[in-house]
Structure formats: structure tokens, C-alpha cells
Amino acid sequence: MADLTQNEWASKLNSDKNAVVLDVRTQDEVNEGIIPNAIHIDIYKGQGFIDEVKQLDTSKNYYVYCKAGGRSGQACSVMNQLGFKNAYNLLGGFSNWTGEVALK
């Protein structure tokens, strides 16, 4: 897992052809906006989160975010334990995100 600043995360994401953006916030938080093309798996689902993450392709690079960076850090750790090699945590989370936002 790597903790990346907003600029590092966005720059790496924009140049990564193997990238997947993962939003681990609650549905209520997602309703306020989402980083474009993100897939949503709520980390508060517990085992359900783990089950859904296990369906993902471990060869991809995952750019993970939550509201402030704490839950996404936990999600990256879980993903690493499940065999994901590249999970990048967005420091400061969606609260500090200055890039594009979409409504889901």
C-alpha cells in the first residue's frame, strides 16, 4: 500500500492504463458525488466488502478513496492481504479532492 497526496494520486492515475478507481464510502456519501468511473464497494459491509473485493482482478492497480483517507487506508491493507499488489490510498480523501466529480 502507498499513501499518496492528491497530486501524486491524480497524476499516477491519469498515466496508468491498468487503473481502477475504488470508492469505499457509504452509499449516502457516494450520493454527494464520486470520482468519475469509480466502482463503489462500501467498506462498512465487513465480510461483504471482502467478498466483493475478492471478485476484482488482482493484476490491476487500485486507486482507493473514502471521505478522509482512513477507511481507504484500511481497505488498501485488506486488499494487500488478499493478494493485491498495487493499492494506492488517497490522503485526505474525497473531502480534499479538487479533481473532477460525477454524480452517480
Q: For residue range 50-99, list pLDDT tens digits in order.
A: 999 999 999 999 999 999 999 999 999 999 999 999 999 999 999 999 99
Fold of the domain spanning 2-96: Oxidized Rhodanese; domain 1 (3.40.250)
Mean pLDDT, rounded, of the chain: 96
Other beta carbons within 10 angstroms of residue 34's beta carbon come to 20
Q: Which residues are catalytic?
A: 66
Domain boundaries defined on the chain: 2-96
Share of the chain above pLDDT 90, in %: 97
- Break the chain down into helix, strand, coil percent, rounded to 5: 35, 20, 40
* Gap between the Cα atoms of 43 and 28, Å rounded: 13
The residues with which 28 forms a beta bridge, in sequence order, are none
pTM: 0.96
Q: Among positive and negative, which fits the CA dihedral 104, 77, 50, 61?
A: positive
* Gap between the Cα atoms of 17 and 25, Å rounded: 24
Indicate the pLDDT class of residue 1, thresholds 50, 70 and 90. confident
